[in-house]
Amino acid sequence: MADSSGKKRIDSAARMIKASPQTIYQAFTDPKTWVSWLPPEGMSGQIDTFDAREGGTYRMVLTYIGTDHANLGKSLAGTDIVQGKFLALVPNKKIVQCFEFESDDPVYGGQMRMTWTLTALAEGTEVAVDCEDVPEGIRQEDHEAGLRSTLENLAVFTE
């Protein structure tokens, strides 16, 4: 989604993780592993379908934890449901996916593209994520905080 100046919005986060690119890449390609670290703080996840190959699809249900989040949710009360597709899987280097929220609210409509880049470093791997075409209903500061939380989860899982 472009802003009023016509510039495309990109939400980003990055973190150095003390694990090899191979270990981190594997965390993206196993559904049980993926759902254990991907949901940001305050959410849990469930995978309904998962086909980790270029052109493969997935469906994930993210649920807000706690009753104080019942009014949140893009798909249902307290729930975000995403339908995604893997556009590129470059082993140990890059994961590109696009997904849409299942939502009747147009502010959450459209397809978001997410690119994860893994860069080997002497002390581990820099993991960077860039999100393009973020639905306008998602506040940038909230989204970037969620991305940082997901990277923290990935670090805890792989280190």
Domain borders along the chain are 10-158
Note the residue count of the chain.
159
Q: How far apart are CA 147 and CA 58, in angstroms?
A: 19
Output 151 or 2, whichever has higher pLDDT. Answer: 151
Tens of pLDDT, residue by residue over 6-49, are: 557 899 999 999 999 999 999 999 999 999 999 988 888 999 99
For 112-154, the pLDDT digits (tens) are 999 999 999 999 999 999 999 999 888 899 899 999 999 999 9
Listed in sequence order, the residues at least 6 apart from 3 whose beta carbon sits closer than 8 Å to its beta carbon are 9
Closest CA to 130 of 84, 103, 98, 157: 98
**Assigned CATH for 10-158:** 3.30.530.20
- Residue that is written with structure tokens 């495309």 in the block: 8
Tokens of 11: 């939400």
Look at residue 67 in the predicted model and tell me its pLDDT. 54
Tens digits of residue pLDDT in 79-101: 778 899 999 999 999 999 999 98
d(CA 16, CA 91): 18
Mean pLDDT of 46-64: 93
pTM for this entry: 0.88
